[in-house]
Amino acid sequence: MGDLITIERHIIEQQYNYPHATGELTKLLHDVSFAAKLIWRQVTRAGLVDILGSADEINVQGEEVKKLDLFANEQFIKAIGHHGRFAVMASEENEDIIFPPKNKYGNYVLLFDPLDGSSNIDANVSVGTIFSIFKRKSTSEEATLEDCLQAGIHQIAAGYVIYGSSAMLVFTTGNGVHGYTLDPTIGEFLLSHPNIKTPKQGKIYSLNEGNYRYLDDGVKKYIKYLQMDDKETHRPYSGRYIGSCVADFHRNLLYGGIFLYPRSKKAPEGKLRLMYEANPLAFICEQAGGRASDGKNRIMEIPPKKLHQRTPLFIGSEDDVKIAEEFEQGLRDIELDEELCPPNH
């Protein structure tokens, strides 16, 4: 049996490596893990209590919101905002920035998707919480929208919690990626996946292939390329798609592969959000040795223009993402079978 190391102890031990660390980040991550436990408690009881179904509300992205989304959002804001360490927060579920009750002294900014993959809740499929932390930039008493609109390279921490067969918290502070699994009997996240590294190349591709017809030709060709037979490059790849990007990303992080949500005729800017999904997952992915781009640009270098900005996303094993980018940019080509894969007119 290995050592039982709680998330708290592990973060504190890591802090000793940085003589100038103030301990603030440790407290922030502790707050996040506490909020995650509250959400996990509710998610695992979702089938028992009468909270499933639509709340008859449409969120700022124009999508139907499930009640558990609202719950997760409220819990996150309450549990974290209460400590006053964050000057400002922004959630995928709220149109505007949120000022926590004790915002005056906070030095940090938190962006989060409280319950990613919420369309999967009713079917008992994995969902998750994704978060991204920045240092505040403004010097005014009240933080500003600009504090939230920072490029991903300025993140000081990012992570996600996946509520799956077990609950797991995965995060980075820019010094590798660590994963902690919740032991529900003692209510503690225990270090289970130290220093996660993603394979340089995988054998899995994940996308909503139902949108195939609406994709750009470059991406269509890439998908067909992955389905071709070639032993040396392990093709054909396996297709795996859960529809919760946090769960699809997590599986691919451990096994290797690529997750893509490209732009399409239906979603010309892509579907996923730069600030709540793409940036934090990109930070984790890069820290694990992977790569994340919008097909041309590194995700973490995209200057955000608005809070709920969407972006195409290609993320995962370095070699896989590089090849996808080459197809996307027209640097690689294959013939599309006209009948099976008509080009996008």
Contacts with ligand AHM, residue ranges (CB under 6 A): 63, 92, 113, 116-118, 208, 243-245, 261, 271
**Would you say 11 or 246 has its CB closer to Mg ion?**
246
Q: Which of Mg ion, ligand AHM, none interacts with 244 (beta carbon under 5 to 8 A by kind)?
A: ligand AHM
Residues from 72 through 131 that contact Mg ion (CB under 5 A): 92, 113
Q: Which does 318 bind (CB under 5 to 8 A by kind): ligand AHM, Mg ion, none?
A: none
**Smallest distance, Mg ion to C-beta of residue 127, A:** 9
User: Contact, 172 vs 131, CB < 8 A?
Assistant: no
Residue 117 binds which of Mg ion, ligand AHM, none (CB < 5-8 A, kind-dependent)? ligand AHM
245 binds, among Mg ion, ligand AHM, none (CB under 5 to 8 A by kind): ligand AHM
Whole-angstrom Cα Rg for the chain:
20
Name the residue among 258, 254, 250, 294 with its Cα closest to residue 274.
Answer: 294
- For ligand AHM, give the closer residue by CB, 221 or 310: 310
Q: Please report how close the Cβ of residue 40 comes to ligand AHM at its closest, in angstroms.
A: 17
CA–CA dist 225, 83 (Å, integer): 50
Between helices 279-287 and 245-255, what is the axis angle to 10°? 10
Asked if residue 82 lies in contact with residue 103, where contact means CB atoms within 8 angstroms, the answer is no
Contact 136, 107 (CB under 8 A): yes
How far out from the chain centre does Cα 249 lie? 7
How far, in Å, CA of 129 to CA of 40, rounded? 10
- The least distance separating ligand AHM from the CB of residue 113, rounded to whole angstroms, comes to 5
Which residues pair with residue 112 across a beta bridge?
91, 131
Closer to ligand AHM by CB, 5 or 168: give it: 168
- Determine if the peptide bond prior to 19 is cis (ω within 30°): no
* Residue nearer to ligand AHM on the CB measure, 107 or 238: 238
Q: From the list ligand AHM, Mg ion, none, pick the one residue 67 interacts with, judged by a Cβ distance below 5 to 8 Å according to partner type.
A: none
Which residue ranges make up the site for Mg ion (CB under 5 A)?
A: 92, 113
